[in-house]
Structure 1
C-alpha cells in the first residue's frame, strides 16, 4: 500500500461516467491536469459504462449519481457485486442528490464530490486528490459485514457512566459509522463525530443515520447541550466542531483556519474533548487518509481517557488509525465489527447484554 498520494509508479487509469457531455469534458479536463492520472474512457449511460469498465479495466471510476437508463445507485450496486472497482461519486448539491451520494457511500463508493455550479466553478478542486485516495483504497468484500442495519436493544438494558464518546473518520467512514452507530442503544452516552465530508452532504448523512439508529442523530448546532441518547455530527463547510464547558458540556462551531487541511478537523474535536471531558472521554479513530485526529487522540489518552483505533484489515484506508497507533495514541486496535461493543464496554458501569439479542431488523 502506498503512503503518499503525490507519487505514482504509473498513471491512475480512470473511466468517467456521466450522461452530460459537458460534465464529462469538465471532469476529464480537470483530471488531465494531473500527470499521475490518465482518463482512458468515457461513458454516457450504464450500458456504455459496463462495456468500458470490462474492456479497459480502470483503476478508478467516476460515476454520476443520476443517469437516464439506470441510476448511479443501481449501477454501483451491480458493479460492486460483480466487478468491485473504486468509485468516486459525482453528485449535485441538492438535498436529493446529497442523499443519493450518502447511499452510494453505503453501497461501497469510496468518496463523493459535488458538481460545480455557476457560483462555485472550482468545486472539482479536490477531485484529483479523491481519485488518488480511491486508487489506494482497499475494497472490502461485499459480504464483509451484514448489509441489514440492526437497531440495538432498548436503552434500559444499559447503565452508562457519564462518559463522552468522540469519533473521527474520513474515507470509508460512512459505512464504518453506520456499522458502529446502528449498534448503539437509545440511551447511549453523548456522542460527537467529525467525518470528513463536503459541505451540503452532512445534513443528509445525519438524517440517514437518524433513520437507522436508535439514538437521535443530528448535525451539531452552536450551543447544543450534550445529552444522553444524542449523537452530534460536525457540519461540513467552514467550521470545526468542539466540545466546551465544564458542568454542562455543549457543542461549539468555531470559525478558525483549516487544520490538517480539513474543515471540520478530527484533531480539533479530539483536543476539545480531552480538555473538557478528560478521563471521561472515549476517543475512536476510524478509516481515513492522512494524520488528522492522531494528535488529538493522543491528548485524550494523556488525559486518562480510553482510545480505540480501527484495525488495518477492516479499514478502507489505513491512514489515520495507523498514524495514531504509531504515535502511541491508540490503546486498543479493534476490527470494525467489534468497535461498538468495545465502546459500550468502556462506557458502561455494569456489563451489557449481547448486541444481537432482541434487536429490531429494519
Structure 2
C-alpha cells in the first residue's frame, strides 16, 4: 500500500517542524513538502498532488486562498485546517498531545471526501439553436474578483477550442499569476495565455490579466492586439477591469462582456460605457455570486443587458457571438 502523501502549509515554522515529525512517524503517511505561504503551497499541491493538504488557519484568512481552493477542487485534494493554537505559551506542541498517536490518526483521517470542480452546465436552449460558428469580429471580455476563480473555471470549461478571442481581468496577487494561468489551462479547451503586450488576439485564445504589472488594454488594430501599460491603480486595482472595458469602447458593437462576482465597483462603469457603445453586456446575479458587489454596482447603473446566474453566462456570451445571435433585451 502506497503511503498517503501530505503537504504542510503554515507560516509557523515550529508548528510545521513538529507536525511534520509526528506525521512522518505514522505508518502509511509521508510528508512530501512544506510551504510557508499560499504561493508555495499552490506550487507544492500542483507538483506533488498529495492526498491531503494541511493548511494553517492564518493562511486560510488571506485573500488569495480561494485560488488554492480552486486548485484543490480541480485536482481532487482533501484539505484540513491546522488550528491557530496548537501549542502552549512555552511552544510545547499539544495538538493532539505528544504521544497520542491514535488521536492524531483520527484527526488526519476525519476528512470530507475531496470535491472536484463540477462539470460545466449544459448550454441553454438559445445557444443550442444558434447557427454554428462565430462572427469573425467578435471579442469577449470578462472581469472578476472575489470568488471569480471558481466562476471563471465554470465559464471557461464551457468554451469550445475555437471560441472568440477572450480577455479576462481577475483580481489576485502577483504571486498567483502564473499558477492561475496553469489552473485555467487545465480546464479550458482553448489556449490560455498570460497578459502580454503586443500579442494578436485570435480565435481559440484566452488571455488572462491577473496580478500583472500593468493595466491590460486592447489595441483596436485588427486583428486586435493586447497592450500592457504601467500606471496607478484604477478603481483600486492594477490591472483594472474598468480600464480593460473602456479600452474596447471604440469597437463596442463587436464586444460581449460579463462582470462576475467580486467586492467593490471595478468594472461597473466600464460595463456601462460598453453597453452605451453597443456591446452585449451581462452581470452575474446575486444568488450565484460569492460577493455581490461589482455585479450589484453594474445592475444599479443599468450597465447589463441581462443579469444571469453563473450557470447561464458562458452560453449567453457564446450565443451573442454566433452568426445569428439570440435576441437580447437592451
Question: Given the superposition, is the C-alpha separation of residues 23 and 259 from structure 1 closer, same or farther in structure 2, using an over 3 Å criterion?
Answer: farther
How far 1:87 moved relative to its partner? 3.8
* Matching of residue 321 in structure 1 with residue 321 in structure 2: no
Is this contact kept in 1: 2:10–2:37, CA < 8 A? no
Note closer, same or farther for the CA distance 1:20–1:309 as it changes in structure 2 (3 Å cut): closer
CA contact (8 A) 1:283 1:307 kept: yes
Aligned to 1:310: 284
Name the residue aligned to 1:342.
316
Q: Where does residue 103 of structure 1 map in the other structure?
A: 71
Return closer, same or farther for 1:340/1:252 CA change in 2, 3 Å cut-off.
same
1:21 to 12, 16, 19: 12
Structure 2 Cα separation of the partners of residues 296 and 324 of structure 1: 9
SS in 2 for 1:312: coil
Structure 2 CA distance for partners of 1:90 and 1:335, relative to 1, 3 Å? closer
Native 8 Å contact 1:203 1:218 kept in 2? no
Structure 1: runs of 5 or more not aligned? 1-16, 25-43, 47-61, 80-85, 92-96, 109-141, 353-362
State yes or no: 1:294 paired with 2:245. Answer: no
Q: CA deviation at 1:147?
A: 2.7
* Contact 2:157–2:189 (CA under 8 A) maintained in structure 1: yes
How big is the shift at 1:256?
A: 1.2
The separation in 1 between residues aligned to 2:290 and 2:143, in whole angstroms, is: 14
Q: How far 1:205 moved relative to its partner?
A: 1.0
Match of 2:197 among 198, 208, 222: 222
Written as runs of structure 1 = structure 2, the 5 A alignment for 1:267-278 is: 267-275=242-250, 277-278=251-252
Contact conserved, 1:63 with 1:72, CA < 8 A, in 2?
Answer: no
- 2:220 touches 2:248 (CA, 8 Å); kept in 1? no
Residues 240-285 of structure 1, C-alpha deviations (whole Å, 9 max, x = no match)? 100012333100001011111111100000001122x211111100
Using the TM superposition, give the Cα deviation of residue 286 of structure 1 relative to its aligned residue in structure 2, in angstroms. Answer: 0.2
How many residues of Structure 1 are paired with residues of Structure 2 in the alignment?
Answer: 255
2:173 to 179, 198, 203: 198
Structure 1 residue corresponding to 2:235, chosen from 239, 260, 263: 260
Deviations 1:156-212 (A, max 9, x none): x83111211000000101100000010001111110000001113122211221222
Mapped pair 1:88 → 2:61: yes
Which of the residues 43, 52, 73 maps onto 1:74? 52
Q: TM-score, normalised by structure 1?
A: 0.60
Deviations along 1:119-176, one digit per CA (max 9) or x if unpaired, are: xxxxxxxxxxxxxxxxxxxxxxx9xx983445999xxx83111211000000101100
Please give the residue correspondences for 1:85-234 in structure 2 after superposition, counting only pairs within 5 Å: 87-88=60-61, 103-104=71-72, 147-149=117-119, 158-161=132-135, 162-234=137-209
Kept after mapping to 1: 8 A contact 2:9/2:54: no
Contact 1:89–1:104 (CA under 8 A) maintained in structure 2: no
Give distance in 2, aligned partners of 1:98 and 1:203: 15
- 2:67 touches 2:149 (CA, 8 Å); kept in 1? no
TM-score (norm 2): 0.65
C-alpha separation in 2, matches of 1:167 and 1:350? 22
In structure 1, distance between residues paired with 2:156 and 2:304: 20
Q: Deviations over 1:39-66 (max 9, x none)?
A: xxxxx869xxxxxxxxxxxxxxx99675
Partner residue, 1:117:
none
